A and B are shown apart, each in its own frame.
Chain A
Amino acid sequence: MDRRYINLILILILVAAIIWVDLPRGEGQKGLKIGSFERTLNPVLGLDLRGGMQVLLSPQQGISATRQDLEDTSKILESRANGLGVSEVLFQVAGEKYILGQFPGLTNTEDVIAAVKQTGLLEFIDTGSTQLEPGTVVVTDYTGAQVDAETPASNETGQVWRTVMTGVDIKNVAVAADQGVGGYVVNFELTDTGTQVFKDHTTANVGNFLTIVLDKRVISSPRISTAIPDGQGQISGSFTAETANNLAVTLRYGRLSVPVEVVESRVVGPTLGSDSLTKSLRAGVIGFAIVALFMLLYYRVPGAIAVIAIAIYAGLTFALFKLIPVTLTLPSIAGFLLSTGSALDANILIFERLKEELRNGRTLRQAVDLGWKRAWPSIRDSNIATIITSIILFWFGSTFGATLVKGFALTLALGVLVSLFTAVFVSRTFLGIVVDFIKSDQIKKSFGL
């Protein structure tokens, strides 16, 4: 069989696959699963299109963090946010020194962020016969963790206190209602080592104060009334249900490897997000219709081929966005639009050359072959230059946490690759086949000469 017709069959199979992937999936419908490769086949929308909140956290000034520190911290942040009942939240390391937190669908997340970003270094310090007021900032001799720079470095008690034990030795925490005064307390259970340390200290210091400090700030300063041998304890200190729960969550997932601060926060309201999405979809459809009309009127038969090729291009790119998956944001749509421009350009280049060759008196078959051959170097070289540019931009975007640039570069590179493929494979195959069906007296009309 003719090579062109084999290609046509392959294209039809591809189109069927594209349609299957691109069809919208309803709730609970199955996605794609091949071995460990599993996709829901729902488009992943960025927060600017679906609404939500995004924060960029970085280690506090003057504190160094390795990649591993950031990874650990981001995991703990995510666990804490989940522990607070926030769903779908995602924390990931972005660039050399940032952690990107995304809260889809939420707009009022300041409280959540304030709760999850605290370092959470809990210390039990021996304050001897002194009772400290809650909120007092203290200095301790514990140096195992980097200090939280958000807490003022001032030493309000004028003394360096000895740390008996830190939160690392806590095994279990639970929030409970305070039987006596109302309000809430956090109960904790210690590890074996912790139990031993606690037992020794409380036995030797009955009557003294054992002050509980979070991130160098006093929570409460209870007096040791008897020795505590069983490793069970309680933190009380005028908690509400919410603050008690926040503390419990903080303790449960451990302290952050590095103290962090919010350097950027972006909230997009749900209406603005969906508004942008529907408008861009509508704009895409209208834009495509106009381009299709122009191509048909100006280039006639090849114009129709171009419209089919562009439709396959757009469908294939969208299918790839679903399969990879690529998060769709406004910048990534801009990248996609630019690559659509170059897909169109590839077709226009071929057709202009084709017309030129026809005017020079070639036969249709010769003109199609030559038009393709002469247009190809310019299509290839211009698109390779674009791919080189997008690779560098992608690398830049991922190294420096510029997600916007990264999204743009990714969809641009993908789109350009797909447009090269459709120009080589789809446009050329269709042109080759159509040639068989056009009689020589119809050439002028069919090609808009």
Chain B
Amino acid sequence: MNILGKRYLFFALSLIIILPGLILLAINGMPLSIDFKGGTLLEVSFEDGSLPSTEAIKKIYDQNGITDLQVQATTEGTLLLRSSELSDSLRQTVLDVLEQEAGSPVIIQKSDTVGPSIGQGVTQRAIQAVALAALAVVVYITFAFRGVPHAFRYGVCAIIAMIHDVLIVLALTGYGAKLFGWQIDSLYLTALLTVIGFSVQDKIVVFDRIRENNRILRKLDFEKLANHSIVQTLQRSINTQLMTVEFLLLALALFGGVSLREFAVILLVGLLSGTYSSIFIAAPLLVVWENKEWKTWFSKRQATTS
């Protein structure tokens, strides 16, 4: 099985998935939830199961000077009401009027109010923390792979492939935001962290086989060696993927709830990408680096088929 020979095909495939999603995000802006930009989220249901119409609710908010309300009905018979920040008294007013409108007592399932200042700082710091963690991982991999030539490359390629997985998730968010109104909230952040953790772990397992074969098969051309290593770990990659994803998918699909379904889908795709990128991105990148292929990228395409 020659996987690495088709490496540019895989790079292209990833780009085809990632780019449109990122362009969507660039056009529509990041779909940040109130967790990051501040505001109020109310999830309510009514005792007799009735739901007032979206227009009626919009009117109630309008009358109180809140014009940016978004209403979303969930499959659980609850309403998600997202708006800019409501003060305690205003929230109470809105709930009282809602109760009259529905003619049934309102049940608050969830009520989140986040001030505008809090999210920005946290997001920025979260990115810094992940960057710091990535740096630490590069240092650690360089140390752990010190027995093989160019140990540093393994760390860098692992991180690039991890960034690939993050980009896949972001692209997915772009599509989800466009089609289903997905938002980036704190649960999303948890999913992203899970994907990052899994991704790095998976890269190291695949690289470990290259490290091991490096000692045994010294004479072999690096591309063949890397390809051989990938094929050897393929069964494990599939089984682990099947199991972790199966496990998480089931666990989370059964959680139910709109926000959790989004969480489950992001995890599914992100973890799949984590396994995919170990084989089709991280290892091919090592080969690209070994052959210094960028030198031939811009000259006529004779060298790439070697």
Q: Which residues of B contact A340 (CB under 8 A)?
A: 244, 247
Q: Is the CB of B209 within 8 A of A264?
A: no
Q: Is the CB of A269 within 8 A of B109?
A: yes
Q: Which residues of B contact A382 (CB under 8 A)?
A: 200-202, 204-205, 208
Using A290-B246, A404-B186 as known contacts, say yes or no to A283 and B115 having CB atoms under 8 A apart: no
Q: Is the CB of B136 within 8 A of A263?
A: no
- Further contacts, 16 of them, CB under 8 A, given A290-B246, A400-B122, A400-B125: A262-B115, A264-B112, A265-B111, A267-B110, A267-B112, A279-B254, A283-B252, A288-B247, A295-B243, A335-B194, A338-B244, A344-B240, A381-B140, A385-B200, A392-B129, A393-B133
Q: Is the CB of B204 within 8 A of A56?
A: no
A298 located at the interface, meaning its Cβ lies under 8 Å from any Cβ of chain B in the complex: yes
Q: Is the CB of B190 within 8 A of A404?
A: yes
Using A272-B43, A349-B205 as known contacts, say yes or no to A389 and B109 having CB atoms under 8 A apart: no
A298, B211: Cα distance in complex, Å:
28
Q: Which residues of A contact B132 (CB under 8 A)?
A: 392
A340, B253: Cα distance in complex, Å:
17
3 closest A-B pairs by beta carbon, nearest first, are A378-B208, A341-B244, A396-B129
Within 8 A of A (CB), among B186-228: 186-187, 189-191, 193-194, 196-198, 200-202, 204-205, 208-209, 211-212
B297 located at the interface, meaning its Cβ lies under 8 Å from any Cβ of chain A in the complex: no
Q: Which residues of A contact B244 (CB under 8 A)?
A: 338, 340-341, 344-345
Q: Which residues of A contact B19 (CB under 8 A)?
A: none
The contact of A272 among B110, B115, B250, B253, by CB within 8 Å, is B110
B92 located at the interface, meaning its Cβ lies under 8 Å from any Cβ of chain A in the complex: yes
The contact of A291 among B92, B121, B191, B243, by CB within 8 Å, is B243
A345, B199: Cα distance in complex, Å:
13
Q: Is the CB of A388 within 8 A of B140?
A: yes
A243 located at the interface, meaning its Cβ lies under 8 Å from any Cβ of chain B in the complex: no
Q: Which residues of A contact B130 (CB under 8 A)?
A: 393
A189 located at the interface, meaning its Cβ lies under 8 Å from any Cβ of chain B in the complex: no
Count residues on chain A whose CB falls below 8 Å from chain B CBs: 69
A386 located at the interface, meaning its Cβ lies under 8 Å from any Cβ of chain B in the complex: yes
Residue of B nearest to A266 (CB): B112
B236 located at the interface, meaning its Cβ lies under 8 Å from any Cβ of chain A in the complex: yes
B113 located at the interface, meaning its Cβ lies under 8 Å from any Cβ of chain A in the complex: yes
B141 located at the interface, meaning its Cβ lies under 8 Å from any Cβ of chain A in the complex: yes
The contact of B137 among A279, A356, A389, by CB within 8 Å, is A389
The contact of B246 among A56, A291, A381, A392, by CB within 8 Å, is A291
Q: Is the CB of B136 within 8 A of A388?
A: yes
Using A107-B108, A287-B247, A385-B201 as known contacts, say yes or no to A263 and B190 having CB atoms under 8 A apart: no
Using A334-B194, A341-B240, A412-B197 as known contacts, say yes or no to A267 and B118 having CB atoms under 8 A apart: no
Q: Is the CB of A378 within 8 A of B205?
A: yes
The contact of B255 among A107, A265, A280, by CB within 8 Å, is A280
Q: Which residues of A contact B202 (CB under 8 A)?
A: 382
Q: Is the CB of B115 within 8 A of A263?
A: yes
A342, B247: Cα distance in complex, Å:
12
A349, B260: Cα distance in complex, Å:
31
Q: Which residues of A contact B260 (CB under 8 A)?
A: 276
Using A341-B240, A344-B244, A352-B239 as known contacts, say yes or no to A378 and B204 having CB atoms under 8 A apart: yes
Residue of B nearest to A111 (CB): B88
Query: Per-position contact with B for A54-69: 1 when CB-CB < 8 Å, else 0?
Result: 0010100000000000
A405, B108: Cα distance in complex, Å:
26
Q: Is the CB of A381 within 8 A of B137?
A: no
Q: Which residues of A contact B110 (CB under 8 A)?
A: 266-269, 272
A294, B238: Cα distance in complex, Å:
13
Query: Per-position contact with B for A286-325: 1 when CB-CB < 8 Å, else 0?
Result: 1110110011001000000000000000000000000000
A114, B121: Cα distance in complex, Å:
26
Q: Is the CB of A286 within 8 A of B254?
A: yes
A227 located at the interface, meaning its Cβ lies under 8 Å from any Cβ of chain B in the complex: no
Q: Is the CB of A341 within 8 A of B248?
A: yes
Name the distance in Å between A282's Cβ and chain B's nearest Cβ. 6
A71, B254: Cα distance in complex, Å:
41
Residue of A nearest to B198 (CB): A338
A298, B246: Cα distance in complex, Å:
15
A224, B136: Cα distance in complex, Å:
70
A284 located at the interface, meaning its Cβ lies under 8 Å from any Cβ of chain B in the complex: yes
Q: Which residues of A contact B128 (CB under 8 A)?
A: 396
Q: Is the CB of A290 within 8 A of B250?
A: yes
Residue of B nearest to A298 (CB): B239
Q: Is the CB of A294 within 8 A of B208?
A: no
Q: Which residues of B contact A331 (CB under 8 A)?
A: 186-187, 190
A385, B145: Cα distance in complex, Å:
13
Interchain residue pairs with CB less than 8 A apart (6): A282-B254, A345-B205, A352-B233, A381-B140, A381-B144, A393-B193
B9 located at the interface, meaning its Cβ lies under 8 Å from any Cβ of chain A in the complex: no
B54 located at the interface, meaning its Cβ lies under 8 Å from any Cβ of chain A in the complex: no
Residue of A nearest to B108 (CB): A269
Using A264-B115, A280-B255 as known contacts, say yes or no to A110 and B201 having CB atoms under 8 A apart: no
Residue of A nearest to B131 (CB): A392
A294, B244: Cα distance in complex, Å:
12
Within 8 A of B (CB), among A237-278: 261-269, 271-272, 275-276
A262, B189: Cα distance in complex, Å:
23
Residue of B nearest to A330 (CB): B187
The contact of A338 among B117, B194, B209, by CB within 8 Å, is B194
Q: Is the CB of B111 within 8 A of A291?
A: no
Q: Is the CB of B247 within 8 A of A263?
A: no
Query: Per-position contact with B for A333-357: 1 when CB-CB < 8 Å, else 0?
Result: 0110110111011001100100010
Using A272-B109, A382-B201 as known contacts, say yes or no to A334 and B191 having CB atoms under 8 A apart: yes
